Structure 1
């Protein structure tokens, strides 16, 4: 189903300013994380992989370079248009809403990386998204969800920040709004018009995730706490990385 225009991610992720703001994300850290996950999970060389909410495809492309058959899906048409220039016989990209049925499976391993979950206004939609992912897994397949450690993120929330990227000055404000961590992004575009976007990510705790997993028929195998795959510690870990089995 097409995303309603009222959903913040349906417009912000297609904005060139989104990609400008996050241009300097650490590519080497992302590759090292993928390498660590592949060593930890050791999928077979013939495994079919899905990058769920793949953005412009940086992780999917790297996974395909390791020899796997990879599909990347994302809600943003602009991101998928960009990613498709790297497509080949064993690397495919599709526009897709993770709440909808995934017709390209079954997959042996599904990745949902870098807090690409919890965007939906209705909590039940998170379960629907997980059910769709579970249905696309082979029996015995695994799903990896990489999310912020919400407890630590809320405790250390930076309320105001400014950064300038390629001549655009972004003013970032963060606050809690009920169950969501909200980031307001203000800037003036190249036509001199003021712009305001919001990112809203549900402040999901471990216990909420575990309820979701149970409802989606997924078994929690382990929780890792950082990109080096150390065990999760609620007080100190920067991430909650869930490894789930169907």
Structure 2
């Protein structure tokens, strides 16, 4: 059994995590990044960070667009996988986002696909934001792409079973004590497994308070991967463009 406080340590390093989510839409991710790059217009000399990069698919794509990219993630297994794609302008490191990676080294930091709000204590989210802000150059930009929490809660699917790679993943979801909690149970080779994902059900207003505490200015907010306007009830995402 994993410890609920540090669920992300064990689950993201598990081969089952990568099996369950292996069909994540690569085209959608690239379309989103294309739109972001058009909007942000980074110079070719810009240094980019992919924060909580997982196996590196966004970092690899950003690098293919001609940028120098650093991918950071807590999962040793993910970083070990991502390192096969390294080149002179693409590097990956195991790193905890609550610690400063390199002071004032990056023009842009990307934190994509709800890779935030994992920590059990609220203040740790602010610590993570402050650490990231410290890694930004003056006037650098920080992009946070998070689920639109109210919409997600309204449409929460309480129970479902997904069959992937011959394993039936039984998934339950609930909202409890300010977290959206997903429990994943399955059997493999006669062994029972259980993993839990806990993401803080952060609302728009809470993010604004975090940004203030991290001394980040909100430059814009979008509601989807087309970069359409943010609608608190209808939008699928909360995509924050922040300035140091």
Q: TM-score range by the shorter chain?
A: over 0.9
Contact 1:5 / 1:11 at 8 angstroms: preserved in 2?
no
After superposition, the Cα gap between the structure-2 partners of 1:177 and 1:90, relative to the gap in structure 1 and judged at 3 Å, is: same
Query: Which SS does the other structure have where 1:8 is aligned?
Result: helix
After superposition, the Cα gap between the structure-2 partners of 1:38 and 1:225, relative to the gap in structure 1 and judged at 3 Å, is: same
Mapped to 2, the partners of 1:63 and 1:225 lie a distance apart of 22
Q: Deviations over 1:2-36 (max 9, x none)?
A: xx894000000000000000000000000000000
Name 1:54's counterpart in structure 2.
53
Mapped to 2, the partners of 1:5 and 1:107 lie a distance apart of 33
Name 1:195's counterpart in structure 2.
193
Question: How many residue pairs get matched?
Answer: 242
Counting only pairs closer than 5 Å after superposition, residues 42-191 of structure 1 correspond to structure 2 as 42-103=41-102, 106-189=105-188, 191=189
* Two-structure CA RMSD over aligned residues (Å): 1.1
Q: CA deviation at 1:177?
A: 1.0
After superposition, the Cα gap between the structure-2 partners of 1:212 and 1:112, relative to the gap in structure 1 and judged at 3 Å, is: same
The answer to whether 1:205 aligns with 2:224 is: no
The answer to whether 1:36 aligns with 2:35 is: yes
Query: Which SS does the other structure have where 1:194 is aligned?
Result: strand
Name 1:214's counterpart in structure 2.
212
Contact 2:11 / 2:17 at 8 angstroms: preserved in 1?
yes
Query: Which SS does the other structure have where 1:92 is aligned?
Result: strand
Mapped to 1, the partners of 2:4 and 2:183 lie a distance apart of 18
Name 2:239's counterpart in structure 1.
241
Mapped to 1, the partners of 2:60 and 2:222 lie a distance apart of 24
Q: CA deviation at 1:103?
A: 2.3
Q: Deviations over 1:117-170 (max 9, x none)?
A: 000000000000000010000111100000000011111111011110010100
Contact 2:4 / 2:196 at 8 angstroms: preserved in 1?
no
Contact 2:11 / 2:195 at 8 angstroms: preserved in 1?
yes
- Structure 1 residue ranges (4+ consecutive) displaced by more than 4 angstroms after TM superposition: none
Query: Which SS does the other structure have where 2:235 is aligned?
Result: coil
Query: Which SS does the other structure have where 1:7 is aligned?
Result: helix
After superposition, the Cα gap between the structure-2 partners of 1:208 and 1:6, relative to the gap in structure 1 and judged at 3 Å, is: closer
Contact 1:46 / 1:68 at 8 angstroms: preserved in 2?
yes
Q: Deviations over 1:188-213 (max 9, x none)?
A: 02x31111100000000000000000
Structure 2: runs of 5 or more not aligned: none
